[in-house]
Amino acid sequence: MTKVLKGIAVTTLLALVATFVNGSERVREFHGTNNSTTPEFTVEAPWILDWRLDADYDQLVALEVNLIEAKTGRHIGQVLHTKRRGNGVRLFDSSGTFQLRVSGSLARWTLKIEQLTPEEAELYTPR
């Protein structure tokens, strides 16, 4: 019994260390199937939008995501537009309080906002 408890303690400790070594931190996560404007989230540069689009169909699927400045409602720009299932990430180099305006068609979407360290952002290479 003691060996089992020690094993659990060691596993938990290793998981915590791995979390601290990996500097990215999830700020918010949003899911949906319809058009939506997300709640506000606050991030410091650099950060990423990690997106996933799934659907039951290969055609007629679409996802568009726009970045909005939360305090003023000002449209900052379109950050994603796709007409096929898939996933990806987008790096941002601006801090603030934002919202995402999401338009989806026949889609199930997931959007994750993750805070990065400057070192992690340097390793990011867009496709």
Prediction pTM value: 0.78
Q: Find the domain containing 98 and state its range.
A: 24-123
CATH number at residue 104: 2.60.120
Q: Decide if 16 is inside a domain.
A: no
State the DSSP string of the chain. Answer: -HHHHHHHHHHHHHHHHHHHHS--EEEEEEEESS-EEPPPEEE-SSEEEEEEEE-S-SSS-EEEEEEEETTT--EEEEEEEESSSEEEEEEE---EEEEEEEEEES-EEEEEEEE--HHHHHH----
Q: Decide if 13 is inside a domain.
A: no
Render pLDDT for 16-75 as a digit per residue (tens, 0 to 9): 333 344 568 999 999 999 899 999 999 999 999 999 999 998 888 999 999 999 999 999
Q: Decide if 11 is inside a domain.
A: no
Q: Decide if 102 is inside a domain.
A: yes
